[in-house]
């Protein structure tokens, strides 16, 4: 009995589906990108801007602005729960805010979705260029082709070390990655429960920072095509290096960055160093108060004699498509990210390490930090910030590539394949995902 | 049954009223529409239209014009998205993973459920209500919460099970690369065994006792009665639970998604549904639609295939 | 039948069967027992004490923390879940009952066709609907509102299927005819005659749909970003994802899980007989 019903049922469903198909045909999700800059006219009277972000305490910074600027009121919304999901939805529904926080690595991705408006018609926007650390402006302006966002904060990388452990085992603090590996072997030999650091396979952003440090320029644009070079000699060098540390069991792979388990391992003196970024200084201070005085921050180990550093994280505040108040948005955005008073407050409440030159001279960033033996740790980060490769660029499908990279790195950490294989996977995913989005791309030379 | 009912209706319908009714019998067309529409309209909008929309999307491809950040638009692409799906190794490995899962988990779960149902239907057992209720209880727990509970029982930091096994010298790694699929399967088994058991048990209860009396008088054991008489009679229920289990397996999402929060051994493309979601969040909705359609078709084919296969064999 | 070997055999098998069933009962109860124990502990003792033994009784404090965390957002999730699952299932049951009743009791052209279309819907995987629905809803601006989850949830083809079977079985045609002869309209007949007779069946349909909505995680996950609109499941999932960074959330995830499943378990047990009617009917096809 069931079989006859079944067949009719199938046919009926197919018929119904095709009716619905015809009904749905009229809709279209095309996007129309106007590459020319939007006009920059001040509004008459009072305007209210929407600004979405994930920074703790940002509402207080905005309060400060609102008090001073009765005619340009800003409303904030915290979207830290699912930053890009929320933003993506809003864009799809045409309800994006005037301004939104966007990470550097997501800028090209969102731009291919036509998410931004070019503010370069506003003089104040183009003039802001000199106010920011060069690489941040380069990324926010897409190599100087417009003003799509203002840099907010950065994550210049550095090495966090447990000086006491290094001293105890008489191991010198490493200056190069070769020394770092040798030191890792020494420490592990001296105490088998001690490892140099951990490799978090689910953290593509961190790994990208390491690649950046080795000038592994993964994406460029030439001959009317994206040149995809994820699997370059520079990135392979990084991958092989960490693969060796993993294979030799000199680093752990069972910890997630920022997790309770990670802090527990540090608390139990099981890990001697942390490859981190500027915004991480408060993580250790706040989560491991008992280890005050035991930590130092030194420059990243380098590749050979090249002193280059990398960046991990940081964000911009982007001008979103659909904003009706570009002039006012530029005014607020410039103030938010380059005014010393605003930057000081963001640093204090949100732990942001500013992308603006003025921010790097903040009093708070030139003093010694008690937790770190009163060392002037921000000098280390400032130095790191100056040594970051300025021509590094992100891909237009970075989110998808990061996910594939993480999956493959997790496999490698579980003994299935290597990190070099993971790079190959990321390269293939980058090309495929760009092809799917009809973005012209080719494997770079 | 409906036939006699229809005839009865026709008999009492005054002839003069006929033309105002559909097809002769029953109430006015307007009344039928009023009864059916409250369901059918949402059904059309939230079931049929999305199915059609997914189909339509799956035949679209993204194209772009002009430069590095050109304008995107979609156009008809034939089976291009399906070609992509079939070439996607991640897709096939997620299907392979879920097939392995289903081939092991579904029979194990249904075997346990059937055994329990049969035992609850024999005089051998006491405390029947207690056993029935405990087995059914997990059905009240949503997949997400079940997975959260089990993830605590799997995690090396918190799990009393890991502690207990540690005391006898074992070091289980429930979240390791080899075990994670079966740890997920265990959650499904825990959730659905009682539900399937109750379906089979209800079917058993509706079998008239007289059917067994003769066999009992012939000296057949409880065992023989169970396997030779009861199981064939409730075969349709077993088929039904199998079909539901196949559908459920192919839709697996919440449980592995929760375990992914604590184990890097569950990739973002672990199950077909997770893959579809990952592809969609990479802004590739057309391909995600194609994946959804393929999953739905596989579900249809498997469910119907299984129903046909068993109905032929059992001569139902 | 009564020879000694059979009796011995049955005693042995009785014991074996009881042992097996107790083992299974332990398996089904263990996670819930663990949850109860864990929900009574202070956060600090979750990892440091035996997970199966009670220690400091801290349940009330845990509850206070749970309901006050993030401005009491958990209470909001409970409320949302009631809206989605209870109200959704109630509305869904009503429309399923109307449609199923019409399919069972009215004779009209295209009836079987309509029924086939609806039955086909039973086999459409609901997760396959979520993404296209998301796109359709974002085009209409419904995404990230109550309606985005509520509207798709009220549709249950399985409910219509059950309602048709129950209406056929439980409502005698003669009663409908006599109500009609008394001059009652079809709706009055339905609500005054059929509805009462179908009540046990409607409870069953309600329960099935409640579980379907309560279990459907994918739909709200795709549709909602605003925390204040989450159902409990999505909220706890989000919290659980943050426990690695905010370990204090762990106790709230555990307590929240317990708080949300206990009432449902109790209702399920109380309404057991409705389940069995429904399951028996469901397996009749």
Task: Report whether A228 contacts A434 (CB < 8 A).
Answer: yes
**pLDDT class of B14 with cuts at 50, 70, 90:** very low
A3 touches chain B (CB under 8 A): yes
| C-alpha distances in Å from residue C140, one per residue of B58, C134, C137 | 20, 10, 5
Instruction: Enumerate domains of chain B plus CATH numbers.
Output: 16-76 (no CATH), 80-314 (1.10.3720.10)
| pLDDT tops 70 at residue B21 | no
d(CA B246, CA B110) in angstroms, rounded, equals 11
Average pLDDT of the residues in B213-226: 83
Structure tokens at B196: 């399937």
Give the β-pairing of A311-319 and A149-162: antiparallel
Report DSSP state, residue C192. I
- Rounded to 5°, angle at Cα A225 from A223 and A229: 105
Of C120, C124, C138, the CB nearest to A92: C138
What percentage of chain C exceeds 90 in pLDDT?
Answer: 50
**pLDDT at position B2:** 39
Q: Decide if B12 and C177 are in contact by the 8 Å CB cutoff.
A: yes
d(CA A372, CA A275) in angstroms, rounded, equals 16
**pLDDT at position A445:** 66
| pLDDT tops 60 at residue A325 | yes
A322 touches chain C (CB under 8 A): no
Q: Decide if B51 and C124 are in contact by the 8 Å CB cutoff.
A: yes
What percentage of chain A exceeds 90 in pLDDT?
Answer: 73
| pLDDT tops 60 at residue C252 | yes
Q: Decide if A89 and C238 are in contact by the 8 Å CB cutoff.
A: no
Average pLDDT of the residues in C138-142: 85
Average pLDDT of the residues in A329-335: 97
Residues from chain B that touch C280, judged by Cβ atoms under 8 A, are 202-203, 205-206
What percentage of chain B exceeds 70 in pLDDT?
Answer: 90
**Higher-confidence residue: B73 or A199?**
A199
Question: ipTM score here?
Answer: 0.91
Q: Do domains A9-155+313-375 and A156-310+393-443 have the same CATH topology?
A: yes
| pLDDT tops 60 at residue A29 | no
**CATH of range A156-310+393-443; options 1.10.10.410, 3.30.70.141, 3.40.50.2000, 3.40.190.10:** 3.40.190.10
B196 to chain C, closest Cα gap in Å: 9
Conformation bin of residue A351: beta by default, left when phi > 0, alpha when psi is -120 to 50: left
A336 to chain B, closest Cα gap in Å: 28
Average pLDDT of the residues in A219-224: 92
B68 touches chain A (CB under 8 A): yes
**pLDDT at position A2:** 37
Mutation target to probe the C interface, by most C beta carbons within 10 A, among A5, A31, A282 is A5
Residues from chain C that touch A259, judged by Cβ atoms under 8 A, are 244-245
Q: Decide if C51 and B250 are in contact by the 8 Å CB cutoff.
A: no
Average pLDDT of the residues in C238-246: 83
Query: Per residue in A227-255, is it b (16+ CB within 10 Å) or e — as a string?
Result: bbbbbbebbbebbebbbebbeeebbbbbb
**pLDDT class of C5 with cuts at 50, 70, 90:** low
| pLDDT tops 50 at residue A27 | no
| pLDDT tops 90 at residue B5 | no
Average pLDDT of the residues in A18-43: 52
Of the listed ranges A440-444, B130-134, B160-164, the least confidently predicted one is: B160-164
In chain B, the residue whose alpha carbon lies closest to the alpha carbon of C106 is B26
Q: How big is the B-C interface in CB pairs under 8 Å?
A: 294
**pLDDT at position C128:** 82
Query: Per residue in A301-327, is it b (16+ CB within 10 Å) or e — as a string?
Result: bbbeeeeebbbbbbbbbbbbbebebbb
**pLDDT at position A17:** 41
**pLDDT at position C282:** 56
Query: Per residue in B119-151, is it b (16+ CB within 10 Å) or e — as a string?
Result: bbbbebbeeeeebbbbbbbbbbbbbbbbbbbbb
Mutation target to probe the A interface, by most A beta carbons within 10 A, among B45, B70, B264 is B264
Please tell me whether residue B78 adopts helix, strand or coil conformation: coil
**pLDDT at position C170:** 85
Of C152, C181, C217, the CB nearest to B253: C217
**pLDDT at position C178:** 87
Q: Which residues contact C5 (CB under 8 A, 6 or more apart)?
A: none
**To which residue do tokens 């998301």 refer?**
C134
Of the candidates A32, A89, A42, A91, the one whose C-alpha atom is nearest the C-alpha of residue A318 is: A91
Mutation target to probe the C interface, by most C beta carbons within 10 A, among A12, A19, A95, A256 is A12
Segment holding B272, helix H or strand E: helix B272-281
d(CA C219, CA C202) in angstroms, rounded, equals 25
Concatenate the DSSP letters of all residues of A252-297 into one string: E-S--TT-HHHHHHHHTT-B-EEEEEGGGHHHHHHH-GGGTTTEEE
Residues from chain A that touch B152, judged by Cβ atoms under 8 A, are none
**Higher-confidence residue: A80 or A287?**
A287
Of the candidates A356, A176, A206, the one whose C-alpha atom is nearest the C-alpha of residue A275 is: A206
A176 touches chain B (CB under 8 A): no
| pLDDT tops 70 at residue B10 | no
Mutation target to probe the A interface, by most A beta carbons within 10 A, among C46, C112, C117, C120 is C120
Per-domain residue ranges for chain A? 9-155+313-375, 156-310+393-443
What percentage of chain A exceeds 70 in pLDDT?
Answer: 91
Conformation bin of residue A417: beta by default, left when phi > 0, alpha when psi is -120 to 50: left
Kindly list the partner chains of chain A, i.e. chains with 3 or more CB atom pairs below 8 Å.
B, C
Q: Decide if A403 and B282 are in contact by the 8 Å CB cutoff.
A: yes
Of the candidates A295, A233, A301, A277, the one whose C-alpha atom is nearest the C-alpha of residue A381 is: A277
| C-alpha distances in Å from residue A354, one per residue of A338, A361, B159 | 8, 10, 43
Residues from chain A that touch B275, judged by Cβ atoms under 8 A, are none
Average pLDDT of the residues in C9-13: 75
pLDDT, tens digit, 9 for 90 and up, residues C74-128? 999 999 999 999 999 999 999 999 999 999 999 898 999 999 999 888 878 777 8
Q: Decide if C135 and B42 are in contact by the 8 Å CB cutoff.
A: no
| pLDDT tops 70 at residue B11 | no
Average pLDDT of the residues in A242-268: 92
Q: Decide if A17 and B51 are in contact by the 8 Å CB cutoff.
A: yes
Question: What's the topology of domain A9-155+313-375?
Answer: D-Maltodextrin-Binding Protein; domain 2 (3.40.190)
B115 touches chain A (CB under 8 A): no
| pLDDT tops 60 at residue A24 | no
């Amino acid at each position: 009995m069931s079989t006859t019903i079944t067949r009719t049922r199938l046919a009926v469903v197919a018929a119904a589906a095709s009716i619905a198909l015809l009904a749905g045909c009229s809709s279209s999700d095309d996007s129309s990108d106007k590459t020319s800059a939007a006009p920059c006219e001040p509004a008459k009277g009072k305007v209210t801007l929407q600004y979405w972000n994930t920074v703790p305490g940002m509402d207080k910074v905005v309060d400060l602005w609102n008090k001073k600027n009765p005619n340009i009121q800003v409303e904030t919304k915290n979207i830290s729960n699912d930053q890009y999901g929320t933003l993506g939805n809003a864009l799809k529904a045409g309800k994006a805010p005037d301004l939104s926080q966007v990470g550097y690595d997501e800028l090209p991705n969102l731009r291919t979705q036509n998410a931004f408006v070019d503010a370069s018609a506003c003089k104040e926007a183009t003039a802001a260029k000199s106010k920011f650390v060069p690489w941040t402006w380069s990324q926010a302006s897409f190599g100087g082709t417009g003003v799509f966002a203002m840099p907010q904060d950065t994550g210049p990388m550095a090495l966090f070390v447990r000086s006491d452990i290094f001293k105890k085992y008489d191991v010198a603090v490493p200056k190069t990655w070769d020394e770092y590996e040798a030191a890792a072997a020494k420490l592990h030999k001296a105490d088998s429960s001690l490892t140099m650091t951990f490799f978090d396979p689910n953290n593509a952003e961190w790994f990208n920072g390491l690649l950046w440090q080795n000038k592994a320029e993964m994406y460029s644009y030439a001959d009317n095509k994206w040149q995809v070079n994820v699997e370059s000699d520079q990135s392979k060098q990084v991958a092989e290096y960490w693969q060796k540390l993993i294979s030799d069991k000199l680093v752990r792979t069972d910890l997630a960055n920022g997790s309770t388990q990670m802090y527990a391992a540090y608390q139990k003196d099981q890990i001697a160093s942390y490859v981190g970024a500027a915004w991480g200084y408060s993580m250790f201070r706040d989560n491991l108060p008992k280890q005050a005085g035991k930590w130092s921050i030194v420059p990243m180990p380098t590749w050979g004699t090249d002193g280059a550093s990398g960046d991990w994280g940081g964000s911009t505040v982007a001008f979103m498509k659909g904003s009706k108040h570009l002039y006012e948005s530029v005014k607020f955005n410039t103030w938010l990210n380059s005014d010393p008073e605003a930057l000081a407050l963001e640093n204090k409440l949100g732990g942001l390490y500013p992308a603006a030159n003025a921010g790097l001279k903040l009093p708070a960033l030139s003093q010694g930090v008690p937790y770190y033996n009163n060392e002037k740790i921000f000098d280390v980060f400032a130095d790191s910030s100056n040594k970051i490769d300025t021509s590094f660029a992100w891909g237009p499908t970075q989110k998808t590539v990061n996910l594939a990279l993480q999956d493959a790195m997790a496999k490698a950490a579980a003994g299935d394949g290597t990190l070099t294989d993971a790079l190959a996977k990321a390269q293939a995913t980058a090309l495929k995902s760009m092809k799917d989005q009809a973005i012209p791309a080719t494997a770079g030379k | 049954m409906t036939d006699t009912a229809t005839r009865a209706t026709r008999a009492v319908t005054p002839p003069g009223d006929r033309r105002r009714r559909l097809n002769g019998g029953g109430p006015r067309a307007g009344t039928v529409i009023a009864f059916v529409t409250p369901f059918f309209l949402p059904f059309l909008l939230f079931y049929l239209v999305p199915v059609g929309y997914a189909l339509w999307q799956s035949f679209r491809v993204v194209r772009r014009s002009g430069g590095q950040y050109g304008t995107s638009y979609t156009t008809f692409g034939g089976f291009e998205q399906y070609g992509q799906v079939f070439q996607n190794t991640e897709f096939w490995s997620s299907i392979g993973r879920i097939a392995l899962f289903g081939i092991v988990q579904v029979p194990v779960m249904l075997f346990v459920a059937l055994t329990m149902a049969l035992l609850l239907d024999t005089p051998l057992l006491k405390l029947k209500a207690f056993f029935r209720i405990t087995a059914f209880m997990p059905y009240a727990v949503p997949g997400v919460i079940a997975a959260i509970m089990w993830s605590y029982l799997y995690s090396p930091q918190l799990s009393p099970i890991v502690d207990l096994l540690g005391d006898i010298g074992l070091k289980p790694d429930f979240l390791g690369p080899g075990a994670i699929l079966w740890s997920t399967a265990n959650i499904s088994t825990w959730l659905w065994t009682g539900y399937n058991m109750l379906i089979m048990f209800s079917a058993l209860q509706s079998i008239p006792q007289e059917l067994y009396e003769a066999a009992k008088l012939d000296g057949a054991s409880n065992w023989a009665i169970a396997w030779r008489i009861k199981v064939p009679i409730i075969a349709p229920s077993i088929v039904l639970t199998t079909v539901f289990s196949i559908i459920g397996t192919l839709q697996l999402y919440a449980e592995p998604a929760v375990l992914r929060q604590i184990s890097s051994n569950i990739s973002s493309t672990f199950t077909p549904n997770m893959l579809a979601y990952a592809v969609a969040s990479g802004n590739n909705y057309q391909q995600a639609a194609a994946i959804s359609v393929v999953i739905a078709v596989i579900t249809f084919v498997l469910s119907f295939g299984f129903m046909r296969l068993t109905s032929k064999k059992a001569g139902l | 039948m009564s020879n000694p070997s059979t009796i011995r055999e049955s005693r042995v098998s009785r014991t074996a069967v009881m042992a097996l069933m107790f083992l299974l009962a332990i398996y089904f109860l263990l996670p819930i027992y663990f949850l109860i124990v864990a929900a009574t502990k202070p956060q600090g003792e979750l990892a440091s004490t035996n997970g199966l033994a009670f220690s400091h009784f801290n349940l009330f404090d845990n509850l206070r923390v749970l309901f006050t965390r993030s401005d009491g957002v958990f209470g909001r999730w409970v409320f949302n879940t009631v809206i989605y699952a209870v109200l959704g299932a109630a509305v869904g049951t009503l429309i399923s009952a109307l449609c199923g009743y019409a399919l069972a009791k009215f004779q009209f052209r295209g009836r079987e066709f309509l029924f086939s279309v609806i039955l086909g819907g039973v086999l459409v995987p609901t997760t396959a609907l979520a993404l296209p629905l998301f796109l359709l809803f974002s085009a209409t601006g419904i995404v990230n509102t109550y309606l985005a989850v509520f509207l798709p949830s009220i549709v249950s083809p399985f409910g219509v299927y059950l309602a048709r079977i129950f209406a056929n079985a439980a409502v005698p045609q003669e009663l409908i005819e006599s109500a009609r002869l008394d001059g009652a309209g079809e709706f009055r007949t339905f609500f005054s005659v059929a509805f009462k007779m179908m009540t046990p069946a409607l409870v069953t349909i309600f329960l099935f749909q409640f579980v379907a909505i309560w279990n459907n995680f994918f739909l709200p996950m795709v549709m909602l970003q605003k925390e204040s609109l989450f159902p409990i499941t999505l909220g706890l999932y989000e919290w659980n994802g943050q426990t690695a960074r905010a370990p204090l959330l762990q106790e709230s995830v555990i307590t929240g899980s317990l708080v949300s499943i206990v009432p449902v378990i109790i209702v399920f047990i109380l309404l057991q007989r409705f389940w069995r009617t429904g399951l028996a009917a469901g397996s009749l096809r």
